[in-house]
């Protein structure tokens, strides 16, 4: 096969969320997928989900085109060595959230680094395990591809073919730069979210009753699997520590400025808020940054069957394409607010159509 063609036979080592999702995605593209996992129940579930068939103990006829090592960062190097000794595949990649350390370890163990191309799909979930897997997990997501100087161009092309087959966008980045980047946009924020959430363990019920969407969003990722995350954080220790120290310093300084109470001190705290607002706008939005271009039409909806269908039907009749929807429920009440994101020029038309049909659309 050409190295950039869709791999037709792959092995997935590790049937957790990511491994099983890759298997499902490749099955949808018609590939033959073999699965293996140290945990027999995880493997059985992945097979039941039709993600592939179990890898026979004695292998099969000749190597697969590609083996995906979907194991924690600390297990990548030893799993690669074992897979290469068994001759499982022509090309190997991994999916760990950390790239430099496993690569160093693989070099130390004497792995063949011409056939290995490190990778990292930027997709996930607070849920883990094969049951949470889905073929569309990688659709439109970035997927870091980190060829070492030793990786052969053919191996790189084959891994990029896998990435595209899963619906993701390959982003080529050097391993150390990758690790600093994810410390900043993923690993560091994870620990920060955990620290904020940890303060809530001692909070009284009144305080928690005043919690709004803000603290829910800030702490959402803290619900992730601690066992999985401690492996990621320790494997990317220095870059994560750099980010945490910088944030800790900002927060300690802000605290002392607030206690100072002077107007000048307040100006410095305001500077931090301004820098935060500026940094926030640098994150690319949905639809490649077009998110802020949408207008939002809010509709008050009774919480009963059929209501959403009627609203979306009305939008269809008005010829309005819905870009996004959010439902804001009212805790304890059979009532919610549906926010419909549409092109700005369509907002007024949609609002008028919905009002004409009796829905309450606040001005």
344 near its own copies, rule: CB under 8 A:
no
The span from the CA of 108 to the CA of 105, in Å, is 5
Stretch that binds its own copies, among 9-17, 98-106, 148-156, 217-225 (CB under 8 A): 217-225
347 near its own copies, rule: CB under 8 A:
no
194 near its own copies, rule: CB under 8 A:
yes
Among 87, 153, 284, 344, binds its own copies (CB under 8 A): 284
Considering the complex, state which of residue 61 and residue 204 has its C-beta at the smaller distance from its own copies: 204
Strands 142-146 and 116-121: antiparallel
Considering the complex, state which of residue 24 and residue 96 has its C-beta at the smaller distance from its own copies: 24
Distance set, CA 358 to CA 314, 347, 351 (Å): 11, 17, 11
Helix (H) or strand (E) holding 354: helix 344-356
Nearest to residue 75, comparing CAs of 242, 234, 239? Answer: 234
14 near its own copies, rule: CB under 8 A:
no
CB neighbours of residue 40 within 10 Å: 9
Tokens 């500077």 — which residue?
271
329 near its own copies, rule: CB under 8 A:
yes
98 near its own copies, rule: CB under 8 A:
no
The span from the CA of 341 to the CA of 300, in Å, is 15
Nearest approach, Cβ of residue 43 and its own copies (Å):
16
Nearest approach, Cβ of residue 50 and its own copies (Å):
7
23 near its own copies, rule: CB under 8 A:
no
Considering the complex, state which of residue 90 and residue 94 has its C-beta at the smaller distance from its own copies: 94
Tokens 């039907």 — which residue?
313
Tokens 């004497």 — which residue?
110
Tokens 């991994």 — which residue?
94
Alpha-helical runs (H) found in 212-343 = 213-219, 226-235, 237-260, 263-280, 286-289, 307-317
# of chain residues touching its own copies (CB under 8 A): 139
CB neighbours of residue 117 within 10 Å: 26
349 near its own copies, rule: CB under 8 A:
no
358 near its own copies, rule: CB under 8 A:
no
Considering the complex, state which of residue 67 and residue 351 has its C-beta at the smaller distance from its own copies: 351
Considering the complex, state which of residue 59 and residue 78 has its C-beta at the smaller distance from its own copies: 78
User: Which positions from 24 through 83 interact with its own copies, judged by CB under 8 A?
Assistant: 24, 49-50
Interacting residues of 86 by C-beta distance below 8 A, sequence separation 6+: 59
User: Which positions from 243 through 282 interact with its own copies, judged by CB under 8 A?
Assistant: 243-252, 254-256, 258-259, 261, 266, 269-270, 272-282
Stretch that binds its own copies, among 2-10, 86-94, 149-157, 328-336 (CB under 8 A): 328-336
Nearest approach, Cβ of residue 293 and its own copies (Å):
13
Considering the complex, state which of residue 63 and residue 167 has its C-beta at the smaller distance from its own copies: 167
User: Which positions from 128 through 167 interact with its own copies, judged by CB under 8 A?
Assistant: 134-136, 139-142, 144, 167
Among 238, 344, 348, 356, binds its own copies (CB under 8 A): 238
The helix/strand count (H/E) of the chain reads as 15, 11
Token duo for residue 263: 């107007």
User: Which positions from 288 through 327 interact with its own copies, judged by CB under 8 A?
Assistant: 288-289, 298, 300, 303-306, 308-309, 312-313, 315-316, 319-327
Alpha-helical runs (H) found in the chain = 17-28, 40-48, 76-86, 100-109, 153-165, 175-182, 188-199, 205-209, 213-219, 226-235, 237-260, 263-280, 286-289, 307-317, 344-356
Strands 324-329 and 295-302: unpaired
User: Which positions from 160 through 189 interact with its own copies, judged by CB under 8 A?
Assistant: 167, 169, 171, 173, 177-178, 180-182, 184-186, 188-189
Helix, strand and coil content of the chain, in percent to the nearest 5, comes to 50, 15, 30
Considering the complex, state which of residue 6 and residue 228 has its C-beta at the smaller distance from its own copies: 228
């Amino acid at each position: 096969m050409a190295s950039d063609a869709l791999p037709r036979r792959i092995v997935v080592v590790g049937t957790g969320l990511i491994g099983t999702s890759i298997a499902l995605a490749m099955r949808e593209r018609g590939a033959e997928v073999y699965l293996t996992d140290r945990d027999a129940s995880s493997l059985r579930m992945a097979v039941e989900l039709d993600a592939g068939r179990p890898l026979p103990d004695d292998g099969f006829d000749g190597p697969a085109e590609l083996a995906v090592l979907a194991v924690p960062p600390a297990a990548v190097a030893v799993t690669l060595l074992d897979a290469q000794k068994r001759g499982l595949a022509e090309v190997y990649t991994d999916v760990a959230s950390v790239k430099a350390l496993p690569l160093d370890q693989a070099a130390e163990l004497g792995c063949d680094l011409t056939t290995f191309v490190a990778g990292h799909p930027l997709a996930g979930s607070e849920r883990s395990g094969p049951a949470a897997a889905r073929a569309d997990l990688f659709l439109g997501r970035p997927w870091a591809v980190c060829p070492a100087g030793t990786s052969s161009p053919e191996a790189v092309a084959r891994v990029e073919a896998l990435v595209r087959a899963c619906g993701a966008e390959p982003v080529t980045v050097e391993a150390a730069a990758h690790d600093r980047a994810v410390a900043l946009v993923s690993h560091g924020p994870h620990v920060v979210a955990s620290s904020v959430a940890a303060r809530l363990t001692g909070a009284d019920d009144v305080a928690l009753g005043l919690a709004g969407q803000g603290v829910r969003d800030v702490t959402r990722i803290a619900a992730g699997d601690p066992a999985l995350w401690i492996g990621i954080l320790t494997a990317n220790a220095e870059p994560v520590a750099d980010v945490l120290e910088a944030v800790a310093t900002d927060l300690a300084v802000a605290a002392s400025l607030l206690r100072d109470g002077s107007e000048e001190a307040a100006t410095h705290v305001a500077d931090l808020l301004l820098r935060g607002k500026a940094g926030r706008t640098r994150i690319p939005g949905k639809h490649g940054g077009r998110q802020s271009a949408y207008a939002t039409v809010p509709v008050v909806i009774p919480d009963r069957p059929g209501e959403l269908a009627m609203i979306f039907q009305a939008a269809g009749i008005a010829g309005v394409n819905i870009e996004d929807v959010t439902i804001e429920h009212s805790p304890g009440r059979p009532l919610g607010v549906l926010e419909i994101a549409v092109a700005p020029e369509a907002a007024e038309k949609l609002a008028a159509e919905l009002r004409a049909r009796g829905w309450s659309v606040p001005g």
